[in-house]
Amino acid sequence: MRYDIKVNDKKFNVEIISAKPPLFEVSVNGKRATLIIEETQEVEAISGNEVRAEMAGTIVRIVVEEGEKVEKGQPLLVLEAMKMESEIAAPSSGVVKKILVKEGEKVNAGTPLILLDSGEAGESGDGEAITVAMAGIVTKVLKNPGEEVKEGEAILILEAMKMENPITTPFDGVVESVNVTEGSKVSPGDVVARVRRK
């Protein structure tokens, strides 16, 4: 597998030559290296909202339960950061699919806290939310409302940490809305688009 990666305006061509865990042989711009990766794990693709911490802190209270219906703006949990308590609210209406943290747990900025399934919000006809995991600037919008998309297809390009990251859909569907424009600044957890499953 080959990847083109851009870091600090420098381009790197990365190729995975062989993968025999824990040994991975890679080539970076033609130079070979062997990496030892002690632990890998598969993660489940998330469809719906992933509510993330905007800053490092400690989970003080969780005020919802798994399976509970929530409205947009409703508090989900309380995070203490810099000696202040902040409510983390639902970015959209939906159902609490999974709570990923416990009270008293310390989290970093960007840590996933709660999964919301906006596809189960009942009367709401909204598609499922596509969120961003990091702060950045939207450099390119690739899809418009009404366009069909395939699983893994990019909806827009987000520049973060001087790297361009495609924001993709986790399933086949139709773009219902795009909530940003080129040049928009976004924060972790922001809903940038909605896609309705086919």
Q: Alpha-carbon torsion 97, 53, 73, 118, what sign? A: negative
Enumerate the domain spans of the chain.
Answer: 2-36, 49-125, 129-197
Mean pLDDT by runs of 10 across the 198 residues of the chain is 69 78 77 65 47 85 90 87 83 85 89 76 58 87 92 90 86 88 87 86
C-alpha 17/C-alpha 187 separation (Å) is: 36
At residue 108, the pLDDT reads 86
C-beta atoms surrounding 70 within 10 Å: 21
Answer CATH for 49-125 from 2.40.50.100, 3.40.50.300, 3.40.50.720, 3.50.50.60: 2.40.50.100
C-alpha 151/C-alpha 182 separation (Å) is: 23
CATH of domain 129-197: 2.40.50.100
At residue 186, the pLDDT reads 87
Q: Which residues contact 172 (CB under 8 A, 6 or more apart)?
A: 148, 149, 150, 151, 197, 198
At residue 120, the pLDDT reads 42
- pTM for the predicted model, two decimal places: 0.41
* Residue among 123, 161, 150 nearest 6 (CA): 161
Q: Which residues contact 35 (CB under 8 A, 6 or more apart)?
A: 23, 24, 25, 26
